[in-house]
Amino acid sequence: MRTLIFLVLILPAVLAACLVPPMQPEIDPGAPTPQPAADPGPTDGQDRPVVRSDLPDLGPAPEIANTVWINSNRPLRLAELEGKVVLIDMWTFG
């Protein structure tokens, strides 16, 4: 019964999808040509944009003194995580 359902319903739909040519977007000859992106502004010397913020600069983050880490078999230091995306989830048990 499953084979019959496959042959009657699913196989024709898959074959039809394979035989239909992909749609091409219509290009308006009078449309303006896309321009390259604008200059991103000042960079920090490593091709990263300088981010401006109204928040005060409180200096470097303090070292995390934690001995238990998830997905790590040893304690990590902030210097090892520099330049990586890090999720810090803090909670207390009370």
Lowest mean pLDDT among 60-64, 81-85, 87-91: 87-91
- Average pLDDT of the residues of the chain: 75
Please tell me the distance from the alpha carbon of residue 32 to that of residue 49, in angstroms, as a whole number.
Answer: 28
Q: What is the pLDDT of residues 38-82, one digit of tens each?
A: 666 666 667 676 777 788 888 888 888 777 777 888 888 888 888
Please tell me the distance from the alpha carbon of residue 65 to that of residue 76, in angstroms, as a whole number.
Answer: 9
Note the pLDDT of residue 59: 85
Instruction: Answer for the pair 75, 66: CB distance below 8 angstroms, yes or no.
Output: yes
Outline where DSSP puts E strands in the chain. none
Please tell me the distance from the alpha carbon of residue 58 to that of residue 82, in angstroms, as a whole number.
Answer: 17
